Amino acid sequence: MCVVRQSTVLIPCKHTSPYVQVSTAEWLFGKSPEQEVTVSQDAAFKGRVEFVQNDTRNCSLLLRNVRESDAGIFRFALSNSSGRDWTNNKGIRLEVTGERR
């Protein structure tokens, strides 16, 4: 997914978890899987992200004021009492450009 710097992007996500009780739902970000951070807890994303949940299966992420440093892989994870259940192992690669292509 390629977006223009300083724009707003909706990273779509819909989960089909078989778990009735989801204890935690979170977005992770990293340049590689070894360097992932939790988006909602990372200072670089503070005030710029919104977890869109207009229904129980929607897990989309709204990212405002996109920066070049936001280029990388975004992944969504669900947790329950037995651990994490990745909904997208590959994640969504975000590329940032300074102009429209």
Q: Write down the pLDDT at residue 55.
A: 67
Q: What does each C-alpha distance from 65 to 15, 43, 49, 69 come to in angstroms?
A: 26, 14, 9, 11
Q: Dump pLDDT digits (tens) for 61-80.
A: 999 999 999 999 999 887 77
Distance CA 39, CA 6 (A): 18
Strand partners, 84: 79
pLDDT digits (tens, 9 = 90+) for 79-88: 776 665 666 6
Query: pLDDT value at position 87?
Result: 62
pTM tops 0.75 = yes
Burial 46-77 (b: 16+ CB within 10 A, else e): eeebebeeeeeeebbbebeebeeebbbbbbbb
Tell me the per-residue pLDDT of 3-51, one tens digit each, with 9 for 90 and over. Answer: 999 999 999 887 766 655 666 778 999 987 778 999 999 999 999 999 8
